[in-house]
């Protein structure tokens, strides 16, 4: 089966009743955890972005605590998983400010991680790539916000 384009899906959804739309959304939420998480964000958390950011930060903290520190391999694997989850939460929001807040928080957690990431080249590279990404994303924000975040990013790299 070949998937149809977004435009065709949009047109077809316009022809459906509210009850049919609700049923389609509920059915869609049963297939993947990410679909359910996205619906949860859209229905319950999108109205209060600040509390959403705080809940994601708590999740990031919890994940950093649970990283297996037995070997560098497990540390890298755990840190990559945290980044993957952080980017998933950023995709749900699609808000540039939220994206920068969460990436700064991730980088701060990575910088303060024990054992130090400075002992591992792959972790240092991951940190530097994320700070470069932050600087790129920063250019898309309003000038006042750019300055505030620039200060935070500079503190990260010290």
Q: In this model, does residue 2 exceed pLDDT 90?
A: no
Sequence-distant (≥ 6) Cβ neighbours of residue 19 within 8 angstroms? none
User: What does 11-42 look like in DSSP terms, one character per residue?
Assistant: HHHHTS-HHHHHHHHHHHHTT-HHHHHHHHII
| Domain annotation covers residue 152 | yes
Domain co-membership, 29 together with 54 = no
- b/e string for 52-83 if b means 16 or more Cβ within 10 A? bbeebbeebeebbeebeeeeeeebbebbeebb
Domain co-membership, 123 together with 134 = yes
Q: Which residue has the higher pLDDT, 118 or 78?
A: 78
Number of domains within the chain:
2
- Which pTM value belongs to this model? 0.87
Q: Read off the pLDDT band of 3 (50, 70, 90).
A: confident
Q: What is the mean pLDDT of the chain?
A: 91
Domain co-membership, 88 together with 63 = yes
Q: In this model, does residue 67 exceed pLDDT 90?
A: yes
What is the tens place of the pLDDT at every residue in 100-157?
999 999 999 999 999 888 888 999 999 999 999 998 998 888 888 888 888 888 888 7
Domain co-membership, 146 together with 125 = yes
Domain co-membership, 93 together with 105 = yes
| Domain annotation covers residue 150 | yes
Q: What is residue 157's predicted lDDT score, i.e. its pLDDT?
A: 78
- 3-class SS of residue 93: helix
Q: Give the number of other Cβ atoms within 10 Å of residue 45's Cβ.
A: 17
Least confident of 16-20, 23-27, 32-36, 140-144: 140-144
Q: In this model, does residue 28 exceed pLDDT 90?
A: no
Q: In this model, does residue 78 exceed pLDDT 80?
A: yes
């Amino acid at each position: 089966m070949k998937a149809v384009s977004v435009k065709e899906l949009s047109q077809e959804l316009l022809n459906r009743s509210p009850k049919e739309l609700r049923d389609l959304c509920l059915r869609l939420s049963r297939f993947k955890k990410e679909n359910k998480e996205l619906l949860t964000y859209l229905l319950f958390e999108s109205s209060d972005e600040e509390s959403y950011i705080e809940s994601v930060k708590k999740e990031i903290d919890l994940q950093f605590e649970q990283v297996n520190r037995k070997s560098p391999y497990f540390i890298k694997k755990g840190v990559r998983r945290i980044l993957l989850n952080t980017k998933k939460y950023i995709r749900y929001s699609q808000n540039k400010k939220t994206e920068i807040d969460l990436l700064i928080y991730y980088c701060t957690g990575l910088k303060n991680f024990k054992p130090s990431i400075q002992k591992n080249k792959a972790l240092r590279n991951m940190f530097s790539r994320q700070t470069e990404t932050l600087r790129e994303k920063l250019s898309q924000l309003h000038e006042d916000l750019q300055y505030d975040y620039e200060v935070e990013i500079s503190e990260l790299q010290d």
